[in-house]
Amino acid sequence: MEELEERIAQVVEFLRNNLRRVILVGLVLLTLLTAVKTIGPEEEGVVLHLGRFNRTLEPGLNFILPFGIETMYKIPVQRQLKHEFGFRTESAGVRTEYGEGYYGDESSMLTGDLNLADVEWVVQYRIVDSYQYLFRVRNAEKTLRDMSEAAMRKVVGDRTVNEVLTVGRQEAASRVEVLLQEMCDEYQNGIRIDQVVLQDVNPPEPVKPSFNAVNQSQQERNTLINKAESEYNRVIPRARGEAAEAIQLAEAYALTRVNGATGEAARFVSVYEEFIKSPEVTKKRLYLETLERIMPKAGTKIIVDEKGNNVLPLLNIGSLQAK
């Protein structure tokens, strides 16, 4: 006990003799701690002099006035930030882990056809103006979350539940991105929206089985429609081709008959014109041509001269042809 009291007395005596040095060292350390600031490569330093904006500092080692005369805020202007709605990511990597909390208050929304949908989405953004980010809007991060939720509820409320759950997801996300950027520009919060991504859109848990059954029925319906259209595209063009071919054949046949009839008519007209010029010659020629066609089919033929007085004048054409 006496030894401890002796040591305490020694320490007190030392401090009493070196108080100025201790105070000086403390002041130097405090000055260094409050004056020397390191800014990361993706950050920008915003310096306030007695609470008023003074300047911005680039990444690296920087100095400000110590003892609270100047304060500095580090703003990640070169980093893409994000807000998650309806879920929270605990750790990202090969196997992402999500928080188990309930976030239905921000993800449960009413659609335009008065149905409920559970919408999970992510807003990716960057801080492009650190001055506006700090001083134009109080608590810019919370304000951005409120604006994001308001924009999503507005867009979802203008669409049916089927549009939000299926074909209209991408269009809805693009519309939210445009609307949210317009709100950021209006509030001048120094934020630029990079992308709005709809992570997952589901019906509420009580109606999810019924909704899945409806989706399956719609998919089967679309499959049957696609098969029918495929069969239609296979059969109809073939039938049209066959019909076109039949029409072309009929037109060709009609053209052949018309041309043949026209040619026969022209030939008849030309023969008639020659007949008019010399009827006797034409009659004789026609008579001889007719006999030339008929006589070979008549078989045995005997020609008798009406003025003949005996059998000798008989001419047996059949025997002459046989010889």
CATH number at residue 136: 3.30.479.30
- Please say whether the beta carbons of 127 and 77 come within 8 A: yes
Give the model's pLDDT for residue 126. Answer: 96
158 and 67 in a single domain? The answer is no
CA distances from 171 to 109, 118, 166, 289 (A): 17, 17, 11, 90
Last residue of a domain, one of 40, 75, 110: 75
- CA 170 from chain center: how many Å? 9
Q: Which helix (H) or strand (E) holds 203?
A: none
Rounded to the nearest 5 percent, the helix, strand and coil shares of the chain are: 55, 20, 25
Beta carbons within 8 Å of 101's beta carbon, 6+ residues apart: 88
Statement to judge: residues 182 and 250 lie in one domain: no
Residues 139 and 210 in one domain: no
- Residue where a domain terminates, one of 155, 179, 203: 203
Going by their DSSP bridges, the two strands 108-110 and 116-127 should be labelled as antiparallel
Q: Write down the pLDDT at residue 316.
A: 55
26: helix, strand or coil: helix
Domain final position from 203, 224, 240:
203
**pTM for this entry:** 0.60
* Mean pLDDT in order along the chain per 10 residues (323 residues): 72 69 79 88 93 92 90 93 91 69 86 89 95 93 95 94 85 95 95 93 77 80 90 87 90 90 86 76 79 75 62 51 50
Residues in CB range of 148: below 8 A, 6 or more apart: 83, 85, 121, 123, 176, 180, 196
Q: Does residue 232 sit in the same domain as residue 122?
A: no
User: Same domain for 41 and 133?
Assistant: no
Considering the domain architecture, whether residues 182 and 240 belong to the same structural domain is answered as: no
Distance CA 148, CA 121 (A): 10
* Residues 176 and 212 both lie in one domain: no
Q: How high is the pLDDT of residue 179?
A: 96
pLDDT of residue 210: 76
Give the pLDDT of residue 15.
Answer: 66
Residues 86 and 197 in one domain: yes
Is the domain of 94 the same as that of 183? yes
91 and 187 part of one domain: yes
CA–CA separation, 279 and 218 (whole Å)? 87
- At CA 91, angle to CA 87 and CA 97, rounded to 5? 60
Q: Please tell me the total count of domains within the chain.
A: 4
Same domain, yes or no, for 254 and 306? no
Parent domain of 302: 278-322
Q: Please spell the DSSP secondary structure of 76-136, one letter per residue.
A: -TTS-EEEEES--EEE-SSS-EE-----HHHHEEE-TTS-EEEEEEEEEEEE--HHHHHHT
Distance separating alpha carbons of residues 128 and 183, to the nearest angstrom:
15
Quick one: pLDDT at residue 277? 76
Are 194 and 125 contacting, i.e. CB atoms less than 8 angstroms apart?
yes
Same structural domain, 85 and 187? yes
What are the backbone dihedrals phi and psi of residue 146, each rounded to the nearest 5 degrees, phi first? Answer: -65, -40
Alpha-carbon distance of 293 to 275, in angstroms, equals: 21
